[in-house]
A and B are shown apart, each in its own frame.
Chain A
Amino acid sequence: DIQMTQSPSSVSASVGDRVTITCRASQGFSKWLAWYQQKPGKAPKLLIYAASSLQSGVPSRFSGSGSGTDFTLTISSLQPEDFATYYCQQANSFPLAFGGGTKVEIK
């Protein structure tokens, strides 16, 4: 089974900052990694799929990269609406698995 480890678990940042979140897999795989954003009391929202493909309607300040065991989500210029919790998820094989989450907080 593939386990996903996210870091950091939380990050404090200011509007306009560049934020990078890392997800590490216990076994390597090519590209089947997705990223989600969740705001309090709401269902998660898909941001990135296949490691680097932007979901329709998601702002271009979000980007994803990586393959093998290391993947990253980057927010190029943090906006007020981006303060939320972010999760990675491996979709390479069953059982599917999420990372533990990264909370992006206001500095």
Chain B
Amino acid sequence: EVQLVESGGGLVQPGGSLRLSCAASGFTFSYYLMTWVRQAPGKGLEWVATIKQDGSAKYYVDSVRGRFTISRDNAKNSLYLQMNSLRAEDTAVYYCVTYSTSSRSFDYWGQGTLVTVSS
């Protein structure tokens, strides 16, 4: 059974930093592109970042480029999102998601971790 378990969310002040982690199991992690998708309270889904299987390429939405860094450790079956210079508008539930290259879709989702940026 595929499992994606996010951790690291919490309350942080504007301008602060936070590192999210995602522990993956039940599939061959190194075969998949991995993605972070977020959802602000009461709002829609927003794609944040995607990383290729070997980490050789990373893609970001404009609003986080230069502040967020996506990374992975295939030996530990783990995905990360380092978030710096956080803003109130970064407040959201952050989902760890697999991205299938064959179907070009987000096929497995974690349960999400809430990040709240507030003073």
Contacts and interface: CB of A to CB of B under 8 A. Distances in A.
Interface of A: 32, 34, 36, 38, 43-46, 49-50, 53, 55, 87, 89, 91-92, 94-101
Contact of A87 (B44, B50, B100, B111): B44
Interface of B: 35, 44-47, 50, 59-62, 95, 100, 103-107, 109-112
Most buried by B among A44, A50, A92, A101: A44
Contact of B50 (A89, A92, A96, A97): A96
A interface SS class: loop
A44 B45 CA distance: 9
B61 A95 contact: yes
Contact of B59 (A49, A89, A94, A99): A94
A81 B112 CA distance: 22
